[in-house]
Structure 1
């Protein structure tokens, strides 16, 4: 994957601005988001007692990294109920794909950029 694979569902410019461009912080934040997503995914089931809490948590985390569409999908699920969880799962998958492509591009750039 490379930059061309980023769909735009995550506003990485927002994240880069918020972190003052600190690559280590960006990678840590995105790594934590990905780790937490594995936990959240299990809770995005209408039968799970904690689905509302998971959706609320995802909403805040998504907006914190610039994943506006995911945050909006979570807000809809909070308002509309468990029938909207498919939209949250789809938006989470799209955000994770963008994150993977972005991190891959960063890794490629680090190989091409000579160190001082």
Structure 2
């Protein structure tokens, strides 16, 4: 794939290994990641109960698709006390935004590739 619109927030070779480089499975996994991001991103506030669960869940999902920086930012935030977590959660949100942009670009390329078959 050309991957010209990707920022490098995700190492898609991790996803390719996980899915056996199957574009349909990759699309499904990326769709699930985007859904989880939408569900959990609203909890990325230390004043909200469940913020630690959100970063824990996002950490696992990020690692599964190769979003290493997002996984690292989640791990760092998860280890903090709530009163110290605000800056770390902002970094999680930034890393999540970058990962979601790459996911959108990659999914677009998967869709284009499927049209060429």
CA RMSD after TM alignment:
1.3
Q: CA deviation at 1:19?
A: 1.1
* Pairing of 1:1-116 with structure 2 (within 5 A): 3-81=3-81, 82-83=85-86, 84-112=88-116, 114=117
Distance in 1, Cα, partners of 2:39 & 2:110: 25
Q: TM (normalized to structure 2)?
A: 0.89
Which structure features the higher share of helix residues? Answer: 1
Distance in 2, Cα, partners of 1:51 & 1:64: 20
Is there any run of 5+ residues in structure 2 with no aligned partner, and where? none
What count of residue pairs does the alignment treat as equivalent? 112
Is there any run of 5+ residues in structure 1 with no aligned partner, and where? none
Distance in 2, Cα, partners of 1:57 & 1:11: 19
Q: TM (normalized to structure 1)?
A: 0.90
8 Å contact kept, 2:27–2:110: no
Distance in 1, Cα, partners of 2:110 & 2:67: 18
- Structure 1 segments, 4+ long, off by >3 Å, are none
